[in-house]
A and B are shown apart, each in its own frame.
Chain A
Amino acid sequence: MEADPLILSRIQFAANISFHILFPTITIALAWMLLFFKWRYSATGDTSWMRAYFTWVKVFALSFAMGVVSGVTMSFQFGTNWPGFMEKVGNIAGPLLAYEVLTAFFLEAAFLGIMLFGFRRVSNRIHTLATVLVAVGTTLSAVWILALNSWMQTPAGFEVREGVVYATDWWAIVFNPSFPYRLVHMLLASGLTVSFLIAGLSALRYLKGDRSESMMKALRTAVGAAAILIPIQIFAGDQHGLNTLEYQPQKIAAMEANWETRSNVPLVLFAMPDEQERTNHYELAIPGGASLILRHSTAGVVPGLNDYVGNHPPVAPLFWSFRIMVGIGMLMLAVSWAAAFFLWRRQRLPKPLALLMVPMALSGWVATLAGWYTTEIGRQPWLVSGVLKTEEALGPVPGGHVALTLIIYLLTYVVLLAAYLSVLVHLSLKAAEEGDNSPLPGVIDVPLSQPVAGESP
């Protein structure tokens, strides 16, 4: 069998970008969370905030490194696997990527050193500033990348001359129709991912009998943040969906597995979408539900796949990934509100709830991936909607080479992911054992030296 470079390159890019997105999803919001810990420490002088900072800054460092190395890989893969992309839309994608590197990537990388290792070398204020700059950098990075991704989904502000795309209006390019929605949705997703990660690993420590003040502070912060963010996210996601309905109706049609344009479209809860027969098997649905959500009236007309035959994304992957995302969102709502109730009203965490929270540490990852699969597969068969088909961007590299590298990438990612997760658990268990008895911090706000309390300065 001859290896098909198109499908292999797609799998390879999907594997790389899926692996990559896990880590920025953590670092974007974790940087702000760390800043919050730092701010509480500076405001109250309570060293347990600083201890929480030191615990989680290690996770930040590790996640950042994983994000950097997988991000470097991606910048090369544009050229190695998809040279047609830059040749066609390089005039748009180029500046956006360049601004990401120039304004965000360097900022993070330069101040990360000070944030991680510089606590005793600079004043508390400069250290806080470094944390701020790293947080700004990670978020700015997301802004540029999401601007580019959104432009690929809903292109605007360009013209095509001799087969090449030229920019005509940069404002319209950056603030293309889906960008604000996608940005808000992704930033909130990052916030939820980090909240559940911290809550889950803190719950693990809680189950191990750790009641240290630093752990409880991190746990309460994380649960509180999750409980606040999840309703906002549900609202933002709904708005994002309405935006998609307006600009990419075929994506919505596939997500809802709606085969006919009509009114009174049911909300399909479960089904086996069948693209051969263009129908759903084993359908379980709420009558009028989809019309109600998307058009705010059961009489509302929802576009169906019949309008886009041969030009719509594969149905089953979208249908399922969308449901996984929404399902996890609902679970997040229930768990975070329950945990918030017990932590603030009962001052404790029931064991079954803590046991549920531990695996939920990774719920943000699963929901984020499912959401990205929905939107990215939902763009197919286009790489840039209406401008460039995915197959047209493929390079001349033989399928065998792609297959070989794909296998090694996959193996590497599996090993790294296993190592990453085992280190997270190891760090948590170690912290649970030490509690607040680990040496440190007790730091004084003195410029250029930050001696530990009890140590002679």
Chain B
Amino acid sequence: MTIDWPTLLPLVFAGLMGLAILIYVVLDGFDLGIGILFAVAEEDDQDTMIAAIGPFWDANETWLVLAVGLLLVAFPAAHGVILTALYLPVFVLLFGLILRGVAFDFRAKVPVGRKHRWNRSFLVGSLIASLAEGYMLGVYVLGLQTGPAAFAFGVLVAVCLASAYAAMGAAWLIYKSEGELQKKAVTWLRTSLMFTVVGMVAVSLATPFASPRIFDRWFVWPDLLYLSPLPVLSGALFLFLWRETSHLPKPGDRHALVPFLCLAAIFMLGFFGLAYSFYPFVVPDRLTIWEAASATESLGIILAGTVVVLPVIIFYSFYAYKVFGGKAGELRYD
């Protein structure tokens, strides 16, 4: 492999796209999760839950636009193949995102009597968007297969990703809330964590068995040794998190952010595992990142801007999170 721009740029963009997807899953994961938790939350708690994500959800969702945008602009051929193959689940995802995005705003502005209707829309939208994302992940892992087996696997991953998001939501809520709601959030976290484990194990096992190529990448000595930290560390983090939740909330609200960080780390490890499995393909076993990439000149133009702008974006995102740090109070326009 020679080191020149046509080789390097697609690689850089695959990395950037991966980063955008990872940030998206972690950030929008918690606010989609809060939406899912509306199913079990009392009406009094719902306002606080919304306040915990109010100033952030918009920017969180922008990472999805960036991820899809990068797929679109850096790997146009793959964008077409993946999105036409996933036409209906993408539609369901979009429908869910539309519903929850507007419900979020409507619930605070409609006459009081109609508020519950938008609360329900927020729940339904968040749930089906999460399910659709999980389903797409499942089908993608199987190399965009169709048929009953792929469908069933997609459904399994869908349920598990939705619970993983619910776990993220609960973990975020432990950080942003106090009192009774915080205690409830701990219970929610423990329940959803069980499903999350099932989901991650299912995806981890299914990926190598779905494709002999991926199987060969993992189960070869000594690669297996180098890769072993991924599953071992994930397992350790799960156990640690499980133990930690039985002690939360702690006096003085110590370690309130720990569950969220743990989950984010687990997501990251899982993501690295998937990335290793699929490299160098952007459409599994069909298109490599170099085959699908745009012209080098165009990628160069985008990269120049990205290098300048991305640090700024990360900086002001941190600033926004800092401004709205601390426990969530009432969300007001003034």
Binding site for B on A (CB under 8 A): 54, 57-58, 61-62, 64-66, 68-73, 75-76, 78-80, 83-84, 86-87, 90-95, 97-99, 101-103, 105-107, 109-114, 116-122, 164, 166-167, 170, 395-397, 401, 405, 408, 412, 416, 419, 422-423, 426-427, 440-441, 443, 450, 452
| Residues from chain A with Cβ under 8 Å of B68 in the complex | 75-76, 79
Identify which of A78, A94, A427 contacts B109 (C-beta below 8 A).
A427
Query: A70 vs B61: C-alpha distance in the bound complex, in angstroms?
Result: 12
The reply to whether B297 and A91 form a contact with Cβ atoms under 8 Å apart is: yes
Max chain B C-beta neighbours (<10 A), residue from A84, A95, A97, A419: A95
With A62-B109, A72-B94, A86-B79 in contact, do A122 and B69 touch (Cβ < 8 Å)?
no
8 Å CB contact of B324 from A64, A121, A408 = A121
Return 30 A-B CB contacts under 8 Å, by A number: A54-B333, A64-B58, A72-B94, A75-B65, A79-B71, A79-B80, A80-B84, A80-B87, A86-B73, A86-B79, A86-B80, A93-B73, A94-B298, A95-B301, A98-B305, A98-B306, A99-B302, A99-B305, A101-B69, A106-B66, A109-B61, A110-B320, A113-B54, A113-B59, A113-B320, A116-B54, A167-B297, A397-B84, A412-B98, A412-B99
B-chain residues with CB within 8 Å of residue A80 when the two chains form the complex = 83-84, 87, 90-91
Q: What's the Cα separation between A187 and B298 when bound, in Å?
A: 28
Cβ-neighbour of A102 out of B54, B110, B310 (below 8 A): B310
Chain B CB within 10 Å, residue with most, of A79, A87, A97, A116: A79
Please name 15 further chain A to chain B contacts, defined as beta carbons within 8 Å, in addition to the given A79-B83, A90-B73, A117-B55, sorted by A numbering. A61-B333, A68-B101, A79-B71, A84-B80, A94-B294, A113-B55, A114-B55, A118-B55, A120-B334, A166-B298, A396-B84, A426-B109, A426-B111, A443-B334, A450-B334
Nearest-Cβ distance from residue B122 to partner chain A, whole angstroms: 12
Once bound together, how far apart are the Cα atoms of A54 and B109, in whole Å? 13
Q: Would you call B297 and A166 a contact (CB within 8 A)? A: yes
CB distance from A272 to the nearest CB of B (A): 38
B220 at the A interface (CB under 8 A): no
Bound: A88/B300 CA distance, A: 18
Number of B residues with CB within 8 Å of any CB on chain A: 64
Q: Find B70's partner among A62, A70, A98, A116 (CB 8 Å cutoff).
A: A98
> Which listed residue, B64, B298, B319, B333, touches A91 by the CB 8 Å rule?
B298
Q: Is the CB of A110 within 8 A of B313?
A: yes
CB distance from B180 to the nearest CB of A (A): 24
Which residues of chain A come closer than 8 Å to B70, judged between CB atoms?
98
Among all A-B residue pairs, the 5 with the closest Cβ atoms: A83-B80, A94-B73, A113-B55, A79-B83, A90-B76
B106 part of interface (Cβ distance < 8 Å):
yes
Please determine whether B332 and A72 come into contact, CB atoms closer than 8 angstroms: no
With a 10 A CB-CB cut-off, give which of A57, A86, A97, A107 has the most chain B CB atoms. A86
A75 pairs with B69, CB closer than 8 A:
yes
- For A441, the chain B residues whose CB sits under 8 A away are 334
User: Is there contact, CB below 8 Å, between B76 and A118?
Assistant: no
Residues of A within 8 A of B83 (CB): 76, 79-80, 83
Tell me, in angstroms, the Cα distance from A409 to B306 when the chains sit together: 33
In the complex, B105 has a CB within 8 A of chain A: yes
CB distance B105 to A440 under 8 Å? no
The reply to whether A412 and B111 form a contact with Cβ atoms under 8 Å apart is: no
Q: What are the residues of chain B within 8 A of A440 when measuring CB–CB?
A: 334
Contact B295 A166 (CB under 8 A): yes
Looking at the assembled complex, report how far the CB atom of B139 sits from the nearest CB atom of chain A, in whole angstroms. 15
Chain B nearest Cβ from A185, distance in angstroms: 26
With both chains docked as a complex, state the minimum distance between the C-beta of B323 and any C-beta of chain A, in angstroms.
5
Which residues on the A side are within 8 Å of B297 (C-beta)? 91, 166-167
Give per-residue flags for B86-100: 1 if the beta carbon is below 8 A from chain A beta carbons, else 0.
Answer: 011011011101110
